[in-house]
Amino acid sequence: MFRNLLLLLSLLMSPLSLPAASTWLAGVATANITPPEPLWLAGFASRTNAAEGKFMDLWIKILALEDTQGHRAIIMTSDTLGIPQGIYQHTCAALKEKFHLEPHQILLTASHTHCGPVLRNSLYDAYPLDDHQIELINKYSADFEKKIVETTGKAIADLAPARLVGGQGFAGFAVNRRNNPEAKVPKLIEEGALKGPSDHSVPVLAVYLPDGKLKALLFGYACHNTTLGFDKWSGDYAGFAQLALEKSHPGATAMFFMGCGGDQNPLPRRRVELAERYGQMLAAAVEETLIAPTNSSSHLSSVAPHFKTSLEMVTLNFGPVPTEAELEQIHSGTNNASHKRYAERLLNELKSGKQFPRTYSYPVQAWRLGESHLLIALGGEPVVDYSLKFKRQFGPQTWIAGYCNDVMTYIPSLRVLKEGGYEGGGAMVPYGQPATRWADDVEDLITSAVTRLVQSVSN
């Protein structure tokens, strides 16, 4: 009897007494986030109406990872313009409460499609939103937050043994939009005369089941997801790339994240055929890494089943506060409706005695997967200089993601900040920030934080 009881006890306890897994555990879950109602589309301030239906479904996709020490993290990819700060903060709080995930274990990315919905409190000066639209946006954003939490739960419940491999491929369609006038691009391509800088690498993380079947493909590219500017829901070239990969690998989930593509565009553009073509090029780049021979630079190497995750909220400094005279000038000196809305709002705030914040809490993240795979994730819309710089600093195999966790405006390098233009400071206005540029130390502050974080995950 006593022996039977012991046997029963040992059977009941066996799941707890199992040794830790000797492999990665990976779980994937997805949710359709196509708005059911005609919300305003995020991204182009020139639009005059809300969405007119769907061209392609929009998704959030979550990959949960757990290493042999039981350390967990999640990466979300999404067909959105960017995750606003408020949604990031709410979601992190909910994920901590429900799943004990700290912010350094959470990476929320956005594909920067310009055919996705406006989210709560983001870029409101850019669009002519009425009360009804704000109400729809608030409702959609609350549902969006709920879906992230539910889908994370499903991805964690799906955790199962997996093998990870990682590396980089190549796709050449991103064009530096500051240094190549859009109308001249076809000719410049013909002449081989496009000017950089650009980053044409395609980071790939492939997740395989023990039986060799592909479970997930996480991949990135540093190029604005703006082939299309119509008024229909669409994942743009990144959506086409994910559809193509999921078609050629039934059962696998394809997930796209943006690189440092702030100053890069898919050119030429504005035609569905081009979005599809760029998607196919990107999907082909990913496929090529999966079959690359071991002696090729795009061969994917095994990722040992341990990782370290880190995050720092860096205090970035805004440039000078716009004066009343400057705001009056913005207001009267333009026909641009979003500039007028911005100037009017700030003038009212100034007159009511509001103190504008002088700093912004900016998320920088670094994860080390296994010994040799490093992922750096930056908030905002970083220009490509950051990608190229961190590859020089940490090795060409480093993955650099932009548009992570909080997209508040563009993130220029010091070079782009000094050159000026939209990415250098102009975009602060549609983003509604209380300055027309960052302070000169923006690149230094981000570089120091990234260096600290990479060191912390390398020890």
CB closer to Zn ion, 261 vs 305: 261
CB of 82 to Zn ion, least distance (A): 8
| Residue 376 to residue 391: CA distance in whole angstroms | 10
| Residue 441 to residue 69: CA distance in whole angstroms | 38
| Residue 160 to residue 162: CA distance in whole angstroms | 6
CB of 177 to Zn ion, least distance (A): 10
CB closer to Zn ion, 156 vs 174: 174
Inter-helix orientation angle 337-351/324-332, to 10°: 150
CB of 422 to Zn ion, least distance (A): 9
CB closer to Zn ion, 224 vs 368: 224
| Residue 445 to residue 430: CA distance in whole angstroms | 24
Place of tokens 């590859």: 391
CB of 356 to Zn ion, least distance (A): 23
CB of 183 to Zn ion, least distance (A): 20
CB of 173 to Zn ion, least distance (A): 17
Q: Residue 360 contacts by C-beta under 8 Å, 6 or more apart in sequence? A: 315, 316, 318, 408, 433
CB closer to Zn ion, 107 vs 407: 407
Phi, psi of 13 (to 5 degrees): -90, -10
**Which residue's C-beta sits nearest to Zn ion?**
381
CB closer to Zn ion, 236 vs 381: 381
Which residues would be at the binding site for Zn ion (CB under 5 A)?
Answer: 381
CB closer to Zn ion, 223 vs 254: 223
Strand partners for 54 = 233
C-beta atoms surrounding 370 within 10 Å: 18
CB of 40 to Zn ion, least distance (A): 16
Residue 285 near residue 169, CB atoms below 8 Å: yes
CB closer to Zn ion, 99 vs 422: 422
Q: Residue 132 contacts by C-beta under 8 Å, 6 or more apart in sequence? A: none
Strand partners for 215 = none
Beta strands at 373-378 and 399-401: parallel, antiparallel or unpaired: parallel
